[in-house]
Structure 1
């Protein structure tokens, strides 16, 4: 039986730029990193505050994927926060542009979107403090 999500894997175009973004801009934590010479590829494990993980991979000459919201595949990766406005201000100080904050018509929660260095759509979703 499935008990939860363990990690989300992302293929990035520049591993150092991606590490800087996820570790320094978003403030996540480096768990481990390995260079896999046989694949000329990096695998970087990043910890989220709730114990889940992001895996960043680099592969030489990996093709770009369309990331517009209606393309098939991953639509976006949503990060939970308690105060979306505060996080948006922190991101703007780091040079990250965010869309205007909106209200989810079904949950009444505030949210916004921004992009990682490769254009992957990321969301900030404001959850109740006890969620």
Structure 2
């Protein structure tokens, strides 16, 4: 098999709110939006009578897919990075200090930017649904 990456998906509770965050706060460009439903989709995702609205965003060589399902599942509890199954989205920026200073006050961060022993400066924040997003300056 010669698998290649197509997209990285995040299920969200409110697609419009999530798009505002990823587009307006993080600066990602919306590539496309679409809806999918029907028996084949519901069977494929393993959710009875499922339909979903999607938005694909350009993250500079990576495609991030935001998806809002109907019906919605139960909200998951926040996971920490060190827990098995913990996930996050990593986005490189040129000037993390400036990006951090420009974040809206309501964006939750785990800490101010910190330079690790590898020389990379990192800052983790949470999107509106609690998904961790790592901003890093290599």
TM-score, with structure 1 as normaliser = 0.82
Which residue matches 1:102? 114
- 1:58 matches 2:53: no
Task: Give the length in aligned residue pairs.
Answer: 124
TM-score by length of 2: 0.78
Alpha-carbon distance in structure 2 between the residues aligned to 1:76 and 1:46: 16
Structure-2 separation of matches of 1:37 and 1:5: 24
**Structure 1 residues 72 and 31: alpha-carbon distance in aligned structure 2, compared to 1, 3 A threshold:** same
Partner Cα separation in structure 1 for residue 97 and residue 4 of structure 2 = 28
Partner residue in 2 for 1:41: 52
Q: Which moved more, 1:18-27 or 1:2-11?
A: 2-11
Deviating runs (4+, > 4 A) in structure 1?
1-4
Question: Does residue 68 of the first structure (1) align with residue 68 of the second (2)?
Answer: no
Which of 95-104 and 77-86 deviates more?
95-104
Aligned mates of 1:22, 1:121 — CA distance in 2: 12
Match of 1:114 among 119, 125, 130: 125
- Runs of 5+ consecutive residues of structure 2 not aligned to the other structure: 39-49
CA–CA separation in structure 2 for the residues paired with 1:100 and 1:63: 31
Question: Match of 1:126?
Answer: 137
Gaps of 5+ in 1: none
